[in-house]
Amino acid sequence: MSYYKMGEFSKRTGLSIQTLRLWDSNGKLKPAYVTEGKHRYYSEEQLNRILGIKLDKQEKRTIGYARVSSNKQKDDLIRQVENLKTYMIARGYQFEIIEDIGSGINYNKKGLNELINKITNREVEKIVILNKDRLLRFGFELIENLCKKYEVEIEIIDNTEKSEEQELVEDLVQIITVFSCKLQGKKANKAKKMIKELLEDDLK
């Protein structure tokens, strides 16, 4: 599959570079991938879509989905993306990466919505995630059923089962973290203290 720099993609589609940058920022059309030097590349599939050329089933893409809970975990997000790329390149997948920042119990994340749109538009053949809770902590089965309906495979790199105690602690931390963001003052500090105690108990 061919890839095009922003300038070449602009010429072929008739869309201005300013429009492409705007669509990138609002999520309407994200580049297939962006280099470390911030150079945007668009795929042949995206070109065909813009030009109104119907995609064959064989041209469906593999999506690598990476998520962290907050902006403070961006280093972890970078590691996830690199691990996904290494895994998919080794298997010869034609892929793109969707990065997301938000709680695993937040169903309205930008990246998750983009992924769902691609699934329902029949643009996806396979989704690759590092582990199950990167997609959703609660409600994974909803996405799983949606994928089955649209014949999309979910491939989990690390399928190691966690203990019930570990899963319970992680779930409680996620719930308290979400609600603590809506609190202020002493209540917020109390919530943070609860999170710290849960994590410390889990490490014992």
Gap between the Cα atoms of 159 and 68, Å rounded: 18
Q: For 153-168, b where at least 16 C-beta lie within 10 A, e where not — what string? A: ebeeeeeeeeeeeeee
Q: Does residue 65 sit in helix, strand or coil?
A: strand
How many angstroms separate the CA atoms of 4 and 39, rounded? 11
Q: Distance (Å, rounded) from C-alpha 62 to C-alpha 65?
A: 10
CA 57 to chain centre: 22
Q: Active-site residue 69, yes or no?
A: yes
Structural contact between residues 4 and 12, judged by C-beta atoms closer than 8 angstroms: yes
Catalytic residue, chosen from 16, 25, 69, 180, is 69
Instruction: Retrieve residue 112's tokens.
Output: 């998750």
Q: Which of 95, 43, 115, 102 is nearest to 73 (CA)?
A: 102
Residues catalogued as catalytic: 69
